[in-house]
Amino acid sequence: MNRIYFDHNATTPVDPAVLEAMLPYFSTEFGNASSIHTYGQRARAAVETAREQVAALIGARAQEVVFTSGGTEADNHAIFGVVRAASAGRPRAHVVTSAIEHEAVLNSCQALEQEGVAVTYLSVSREGRIDLEELVRAIRPETLLITIMHANNEMGTVQPVEEIGRIAAEADLYFHTDAVQSAGKIPVDVNALQADLLSLSGHKIYAPKGVGALFIKSGTPVKQYLYGGHHQRGFRPGTENVAAIVGMGKAAEIARIALRREAARIGGLRDILEQGLLARVPEARVNGGGAPRTPNTTNITFSGIEGEALLIALDLMGLACSTGAACSSGAVEPSHVLTAIGLPPAEARASLRFSLGRGTTEDQIRAALEIVPSTVGRLRSISPTYQKHSSRG
């Protein structure tokens, strides 16, 4: 069976060129990047090259990039770091975010609430976009930070981040954006976004798991989040994972060079898949399809079935996709993203995310257009919920 992988928003395979760049740092180039001898100097040089490569992907300066263990740590460091630094000596603090953020942001904000920080969770439209007027109304004298993701992990919806950055700058607020799902898929420029902090994850751009990065604009106050040595200019202590960092740097370089070409190719395949499924599957609807989206992502509701059952059935047929965020796999609650756009829980549970990637081919799309409709039809034929719904129609 030739398996089909349509879950690139969960993770991507390590690019062969990335693996090749990493391999020496598991063996001959084993030095500690903080050591001053030749072994350490070579490791340090590799880390700094990677820092430059990541910075180039997002239009930053190398000294503004801090390597982390992944996107979750980057989000936590950004949110806790800037709020705790900027709120020092102030009686009150307030943060603005959205209802459809990744759990790394939502749970960080909820933790801040337990510390007495007020948080406003902006609603989103049926297409998954915030209302800029609501954002402006949410700003208070005690507001310190706006944290809004660039692209949503479940629907691919792209937020109006340039306008958000402008609003934050005009109000003299710090602006953080989680760009984990946008980097490498659409252009990301910290200057155009007027971002003060921006989070990245290696394993979403064909680098290994366990490495990420946080952009911290020069001059942005960020309180220390971890304690240890003076690595990475004191922003993030701990011996650098040189091999993974080298991999992320190489992946960022490849993504920057291939971005426009791959975005056009993958976007075309996504559209064929999406339009084909809508034509072949009755009562299928795209979530967020009317908004700007990352070119690789489509989220589709297949009314009358359980998404988890469909996911398992498709996997048995050789097609891997997702019911939503990989971090939430096995959760009994419907997607907080899909309920936030107004889907009833049953419809949210009947939705699947297909996220394409560099290895996706036209043959795979054609195969999926046979597998998915037939599998949906089979599950609907034995679904009491769907049969009841159909008889009413």
Q: What average pLDDT does this structure show over 292-307?
A: 96
CA 349 – CA 26 distance, rounded (Å): 43
| Domain CATH for 225 | 3.40.640.10
One domain for residues 80 and 175: yes
Say yes or no to pLDDT of 42 above 60.
yes
What percent of the chain clears pLDDT 90, i.e. is strictly above it? 88
Q: What average pLDDT does this structure show over 174-196?
A: 98
One domain for residues 194 and 289: no
Per the annotation, the verdict on 109 as an active-site residue is no
**Closest-CA residue to 318 (of 374, 387, 262):** 374
Q: Identify the active-site residue in 327, 344, 345, 363.
A: 327
One domain for residues 76 and 118: yes
Interstrand relation of 174-178 and 197-201 (parallel, antiparallel or unpaired): parallel
One domain for residues 306 and 221: no
**Closest-CA residue to 88 (of 227, 228, 221):** 221
**Confidence class for position 129, pLDDT limits 50, 70, 90:** very high
> Residue 90: what pLDDT?
81
Instruction: Give the domain-ending residue among 215, 230, 255.
Output: 255
One domain for residues 213 and 334: no
Say yes or no to pLDDT of 248 above 80.
yes
Average pLDDT, the chain: 94
**Confidence class for position 332, pLDDT limits 50, 70, 90:** low
What percent of the chain clears pLDDT 70, i.e. is strictly above it? 95
Instruction: Give the domain-ending residue among 255, 272, 288.
Output: 255
**Closest-CA residue to 98 (of 148, 135, 164, 132):** 148
One domain for residues 241 and 263: no
> Residue 252: what pLDDT?
98
Give the global pTM.
Answer: 0.94
Say yes or no to pLDDT of 139 above 90.
yes
One domain for residues 137 and 247: yes
| Domain CATH for 274 | 3.90.1150.10
* pLDDT tens-digit map of 141-158: 999 999 999 999 999 999
In sequence order, what E strands does the chain have?
A: 4-5, 65-68, 94-98, 118-122, 143-147, 174-178, 197-201, 212-216, 284-286, 297-302, 319-320, 351-355
The domain of 340 spans 4-10+259-392
- What phi and psi values does residue 251 have, to the nearest 5 degrees? -65, -40
Instruction: Give the domain-ending residue among 225, 240, 255.
Output: 255
One domain for residues 310 and 266: yes
Q: How many domains, the chain?
A: 2
One domain for residues 222 and 293: no
